[in-house]
Amino acid sequence: MNWTILIPIIAQYGLPLAESLFQKWTSGTPPTQADFDQLRSLAQRSGQDRMKAQLAAAGIPLDDPKAVQLLALAQA
Protein backbone atom coordinates (compact mmCIF):
# COMPACT_ATOMS: atom_id res chain seq x y z
CA MET A 1 0.00 0.00 0.00
CA ASN A 2 1.34 3.42 -0.83
CA TRP A 3 0.22 6.95 -0.03
CA THR A 4 -1.75 7.36 -3.23
CA ILE A 5 -4.04 4.59 -2.01
CA LEU A 6 -3.87 5.32 1.71
CA ILE A 7 -4.64 9.04 1.71
CA PRO A 8 -8.01 8.77 -0.07
CA ILE A 9 -8.92 5.93 2.34
CA ILE A 10 -8.04 8.20 5.25
CA ALA A 11 -10.14 10.99 3.73
CA GLN A 12 -13.11 8.69 3.16
CA TYR A 13 -13.06 6.36 6.15
CA GLY A 14 -10.71 7.94 8.65
CA LEU A 15 -7.27 7.14 9.95
CA PRO A 16 -8.00 4.00 12.02
CA LEU A 17 -9.08 1.91 9.03
CA ALA A 18 -6.16 3.02 6.85
CA GLU A 19 -3.73 2.54 9.71
CA SER A 20 -4.91 -0.97 10.51
CA LEU A 21 -4.81 -2.01 6.85
CA PHE A 22 -1.33 -0.55 6.42
CA GLN A 23 -0.02 -2.32 9.52
CA LYS A 24 -1.44 -5.65 8.44
CA TRP A 25 0.09 -5.49 5.00
CA THR A 26 3.49 -4.22 6.06
CA SER A 27 4.14 -6.21 9.24
CA GLY A 28 4.31 -9.60 7.52
CA THR A 29 3.92 -11.29 10.90
CA PRO A 30 1.92 -14.52 10.94
CA PRO A 31 -1.62 -14.19 12.31
CA THR A 32 -2.07 -15.22 15.94
CA GLN A 33 -4.97 -16.96 17.62
CA ALA A 34 -6.05 -13.53 18.91
CA ASP A 35 -6.10 -12.18 15.33
CA PHE A 36 -8.37 -15.01 14.22
CA ASP A 37 -10.59 -14.60 17.29
CA GLN A 38 -10.96 -10.88 16.57
CA LEU A 39 -11.74 -11.50 12.90
CA ARG A 40 -14.28 -14.18 13.85
CA SER A 41 -15.90 -11.70 16.22
CA LEU A 42 -16.11 -9.08 13.44
CA ALA A 43 -17.58 -11.66 11.05
CA GLN A 44 -20.44 -12.29 13.48
CA ARG A 45 -21.79 -8.75 13.09
CA SER A 46 -25.00 -8.60 11.10
CA GLY A 47 -26.39 -5.89 8.88
CA GLN A 48 -28.79 -4.98 11.66
CA ASP A 49 -25.87 -4.59 14.09
CA ARG A 50 -24.24 -2.14 11.67
CA MET A 51 -27.49 -0.18 11.30
CA LYS A 52 -27.74 0.06 15.11
CA ALA A 53 -24.17 1.34 15.29
CA GLN A 54 -24.80 3.99 12.63
CA LEU A 55 -28.04 5.09 14.31
CA ALA A 56 -26.12 5.46 17.57
CA ALA A 57 -23.39 7.40 15.79
CA ALA A 58 -26.06 9.72 14.38
CA GLY A 59 -27.48 10.23 17.89
CA ILE A 60 -30.81 8.60 17.05
CA PRO A 61 -32.28 6.50 19.91
CA LEU A 62 -33.19 2.94 18.99
CA ASP A 63 -36.81 3.53 20.06
CA ASP A 64 -37.18 6.48 17.69
CA PRO A 65 -39.81 5.67 15.02
CA LYS A 66 -37.26 6.18 12.24
CA ALA A 67 -34.81 3.82 13.97
CA VAL A 68 -37.52 1.22 14.51
CA GLN A 69 -38.43 1.35 10.83
CA LEU A 70 -34.82 1.05 9.64
CA LEU A 71 -34.01 -1.77 12.06
CA ALA A 72 -37.08 -3.67 10.87
CA LEU A 73 -35.90 -3.27 7.28
CA ALA A 74 -32.41 -4.43 8.29
CA GLN A 75 -33.73 -7.66 9.77
CA ALA A 76 -33.21 -9.57 6.52
Partner 1 sequence: MNQDQILNLIQTLFKVGGGALAAKGIGDSSVWEAIGGAVVAAVTWYLSHKWHATPSAAPSVGVSSMLKLLIVCVLLSALATACTTNQQTLAANTLSTLEQSATAAVDGYDTLVIQGNLPTNGVPTVTKAYNDFQAALMLALDGVQYNTNAVAPPALTVEAQDLVNLINTIETNR
Q: Which residues contact 1 (CB under 8 A, 6 or more apart)?
A: 21, 22, 25, 26
Cβ neighbours of residue 38 closer than 8 Å, sequence gap 6 or more: none
Residues 15-54 that bind partner 1 (CB under 8 A): 17, 20-21, 24-25, 28-31, 35-36, 39-40, 42-48, 50-51, 53-54
The one-character DSSP state at 31 is: P
Which residues of this chain interact with partner 1, rule CB under 8 A?
Answer: 1-13, 17, 20-21, 24-25, 28-31, 35-36, 39-40, 42-48, 50-51, 53-55, 57-58, 60, 66, 69-70, 73-76
